[in-house]
A and B are shown apart, each in its own frame.
Chain A
Amino acid sequence: MTSEAILPQDDAMSLSDYLERGGKLTSPENVSPRYRGELLRLMSSFVDSELAGSAGFADAINWAPGLKERIAASRITLEKVDHAERVLDLMSEFGTDKTLYNKTHAWSARQPRDARIDPKRQGGDMRLSVFHYPLESWPDAVVMNTLMGMGTVYQLEEQALTSYQPLGEIFREILPREKRHMELGLEGLQHLVEDDATRAEVQTSVNYWLPRVAETFGPAQSDRFERMKKLGLRHTDNETLRAAWKADAEARLAELKLG
């Protein structure tokens, strides 16, 4: 690699053409200011969501009814922080101070359960809106983790194709673990619906979380999506992803005779 052009003009290609044709960027040095801004925002949103998700789920460890569930909840709490750190390490290459970043927001802070939270970002905290709502109990935590876990898998599968190659690699590495978190949720859910007493509670939680997870996919019409698509940072639009997740979630809930 050399950072001075080695080619005559006929080989020159603009960054936007390169990205629109599926090119990848590989280091902080190749990105334009706009690209850097959108990329850092995308990474921040991921990091904040993982940190907030983990912090919120930590309570579930103590709600867990058995050892197996306790281990599952601990593992999810641990691994989500690990995933956040991997992306934060990448942000550090752009100048982010990792230690300070961790202290920026209170990751375990939540709004009231009945709050109506605008799905748009809340101040400097870039977590997805669903992570502003509190968990209430073990069944509630399992439902949220399953539904949002499925959402995360759809979102990561799409973002693994991102034009920033180092980020795509991280997303591909963590995808199997995020999938496992979702599966642990499904296993927990299967267990909970066997008992009529908890089944009703699970159904109430499903009704609560389903629309809130749906909102995390973003607005159907999004200028930001179009901007990011041009930069190769995103590929599939919000509504298509949301519809795919919804169909999948509904099918799995139907198997458990949940609506």
Chain B
Amino acid sequence: MARFHSLEVTDIRRDTRDAVVVTLKPEETEVDAFGFVQGQYLTFRRNFDGEELRRSYSICTGLDEGCLKVGIKRVDGGAFSTWANEELKVGDRLDAMAPMGRFFTELEPGAAKSYLGFAGGSGITPVLSIIKTVLAREPHSNFTLIYANRQTSSIMFREDLEDLKNRYLGRFSLIHILETESQEIDLFTGRIDAEKMEMLFRLWIDAEEVDTAFICGPEPMMLTIADSLRSHGLGDDQIRFELFASSQPGRTKNPVASKAVAAGSGTCEVSVTLDGTTRNFQMDKNGTSVLEAAVANAMDAPFACKAGVCSTCRARVIEGEVEMEVNHALEDYEVRAGYVLSCQCIPVSDKVVISYDE
């Protein structure tokens, strides 16, 4: 199951003042694991002051470039992105999971499709991978990119995009929308809002021609664009979102950990009975579930969904106090009787006795 692999940093190129493009190389034996589809991302992990941070960054290379690169834009206060921009160097190693994500459509070499892309800031990264791949693998398709940034100096992959324009003359069009810089055409200055979308549709984009639209950027921008696309007749199946994992409270680990810490930090002595055998081990009270700890201690504890839904991991707490994050499977009377879903069960007291056999 554990899915992190070590990648070697073979190149770091500064793209803008606060963004780098990092080239990564998997081990010979793990090359297959890093085969990717355009538009996918890598999730990295690293310890910062004893706390593991996981961050996802999109791959910016196309399928035919034969290498793996991610774009990392530095964010104020962002530990991982600041570290990657300031301290990461060639020869370092990074832990990453195999590529994931579904921000793509199937390639059809014989098709003549019209794609429309909207990117805001570093949202360009997966879109760039898609543009490069689609233009190379679908010789009859075309791509129009609307790319929003604050100013010229903050445009990521500016030169790469210019190169693509030259290489795919007539098949790739690029419109830069700059928030704080006036341009020859008023339409291209400011933010992408409903009014600007109307103008774009009136003057530059033929909505009826569009097969698929890709959007990656800040949430409000994505909603505005999606609303506008829908009102111009595009169906949900033609609109592909890629959300910044950014401001979303996606990581259950931290809040849980802090709760657990507040309740009594340190470690917990756990005793688990399974199939008539009892095993004792110690686990950190850092938000890890009893199930994860039991599996880590080589117990064959039962589980299936790991989301508090299926109840395969049901166990009974004989002694001690635990907290259950999510419970969709147990009835109230079962909870009163001391049953828990061990995949959702975080120790609170310093000692916990649990049985899967009851």
Contact = CB atoms under 8 A, between A and B. Distances in A.
A115 interface: no
A31 interface: yes
A165 interface: yes
Interface string B276-314: 000000000000000000000000001111111111101
Nearest to B79: A4
Nearest to B127: A1
Contacts of B216: 1
Nearest to A24: B241
A6 B73 contact: yes
Contacts of A32: 248-250
B298 to A, nearest CB: 17
A93 B100 contact: yes
Contacts of B233: none
Nearest to B235: A172
Contacts of A94: 305-307
Interface string A8-52: 000111110010011111111111111011001100100000000
Contacts of A197: none
Contact of B302 (A6, A22, A44, A100): A100
A18 to B, nearest CB: 5
A96 B311 CA distance: 12
A5 B79 CA distance: 11
Contacts of B325: 33
A27 B75 contact: no
B15 interface: no
B234 to A, nearest CB: 13
B237 A37 contact: no
Residue of B222, B244, B307 contacting most chain A CB atoms (<10 Å) = B307
A160 interface: yes
B23 interface: no
Given A1-B41, A1-B57, A96 B306 contact: yes
Contacts of B103: 1, 26
A7 interface: yes
A15 B236 CA distance: 20
B218 A4 contact: no
B222 A23 contact: yes
Nearest to B221: A11
A221 interface: no
A226 interface: no
B200 to A, nearest CB: 20
A3 B101 CA distance: 13
A124 interface: yes
Contacts of B305: 40, 44, 91, 94-96, 101
A40 B328 contact: yes
A4 B55 contact: yes
B220 A40 contact: no
Contacts of A44: 305, 309-310
Contacts of B222: 23
Contacts of B56: 1-3, 27, 29
A100 B303 contact: yes
Contact of B80 (A4, A24, A165): A4
B57 A3 contact: yes
A13 B309 contact: no
A36 B326 contact: yes
Contacts of B133: none
B197 to A, nearest CB: 15
Nearest to A93: B100
Contact of B226 (A12, A22, A26, A166): A22
A2 B218 contact: no
Interface of A: 1-7, 11-15, 18, 21-34, 36-37, 40-41, 44, 91, 93-97, 100-101, 104, 123-124, 126, 160-161, 165-166, 168-169, 172
30 contacts: A1-B57, A1-B126, A2-B72, A2-B81, A3-B57, A3-B244, A3-B245, A4-B75, A6-B73, A6-B218, A11-B220, A23-B219, A25-B243, A26-B102, A26-B103, A26-B242, A29-B245, A30-B248, A30-B250, A32-B249, A33-B326, A40-B307, A41-B328, A44-B310, A94-B305, A97-B303, A101-B304, A101-B305, A124-B314, A126-B309
